[in-house]
Amino acid sequence: MINPYPGLPEFDYIKPDSLSAASQFLALHTGEARPLMGGTDIFVRMRDRVWKDKYLVDVKSLDGMNAIYFDLSRGLTIGASVNMNRVIGSSEAKVHYPLLAEAANKVASYQLRTRATIVGNICNASPAGDTTGACILLGGVLNVHGEDGKRQEPLSTFFIGPGATALRAGDIVTSIQFPLPAPGLVGKYIKLGRNKSSDLAIIGVTVVGYPDEGAPSGFRIKLALASVAPVPLVVGQVETILAETPITEQTLSEASQAAMDGCNPIDDVRASAKYRKMMVRNLSLNALRKVWETIRQ
């Protein structure tokens, strides 16, 4: 449809000098202000008159938000305003969290990724977000600054619906933190899109797996899906099947069928629900096989 109002509407650009001031401003202007990161979701929504914020609150340069660091006790911390290309290029992500770099590298184009952030991808809470599955399965936790000070939000309970999260008025995510990956952890992200760049996922399949002596099969394998439910979906049945029974081609096939049965996609402009479900089964099997072939060695 042709946009009858091309260009951005007017808004005030606010640049507070502390997180406390930013949280207070956001809380005072609930419903008419939001934190600004790369703006790649915000400006499209404002241009299309879907979001009508009076204020964009630039918090990108506050309190370590532009830093990325790793240590062997705390794992990886990515500041909220670190753009995706920096994550992809960072030696820490490449060595210890290659799945994160792989997922970020599937987002749109190089140009877009110089602005887009992982935290923005998560806070936007689109079911189609490419990095959400990796962030959930790698145990990501958000560090949040709110009106009442700091707290943490685990991603396992963060997503409530399309565009809806556990964030409250005045909240600003300052960083996302990942624990050290389990020894031998391998990941895979497969994105099905209508073209190779600049399009949201028709479906996305993220898998992680690692040896686990506590599991009867000797392995722990988890799967998350994008674009097939109102929120990013972790299909617990996949983990159960592959932990409880010896892993064979047959159980991988059963697990991918469970992924298909566990999702409930909709028809939309990108694909029908039926096509999505079938591709969930096919691409889940591909991703599970790839991870299994590596961790079994």
Ligand X SMILES: Cc1cc2nc3c(=O)[nH]c(=O)nc-3n(C[C@H](O)[C@H](O)[C@H](O)COP(=O)(O)OP(=O)(O)OC[C@H]3O[C@@H](n4cnc5c(N)ncnc54)[C@H](O)[C@@H]3O)c2cc1C
Q: Which of 14, 23, 38, 271 binds ligand X (CB under 6 A)?
A: 38
Contact status: 19 vs ligand X (CB under 6 A): no
Rounded CA-CA distance 23/25 in Å is: 5
Mask of contacts with ligand X, 147-176, x by CB under 6 A?
Answer: --------------------x----xx---
Contact status: 119 vs ligand X (CB under 6 A): yes
Q: Which of 21, 24, 39, 139 binds ligand X (CB under 6 A)?
A: 39
Contact status: 117 vs ligand X (CB under 6 A): yes
> Cβ closer to ligand X: 173 or 208?
173
- What 3 state SS string does 125-172 have? CCCCCCCHHHHHHCCCEEEEEECCEEEEEEHHHCEEECCEECCCCCCE
> Which segment (12-20, 40-48, 87-95, 246-254) binds ligand X by CB under 6 A?
40-48
- Smallest gap from Cβ 143 to ligand X, in A, equals 10
Q: Which of 35, 140, 209, 265 binds ligand X (CB under 6 A)?
A: 35
What is the end-to-end Cα distance of the chain in Å, rounded?
52
Rounded CA-CA distance 269/273 in Å is: 11
Rounded CA-CA distance 39/94 in Å is: 26
> Cβ closer to ligand X: 241 or 271?
271
Binding site for ligand X (CB under 6 A): 34-42, 44, 80, 107-108, 112, 115-117, 119-121, 123-124, 129-130, 167, 172-173, 198, 200
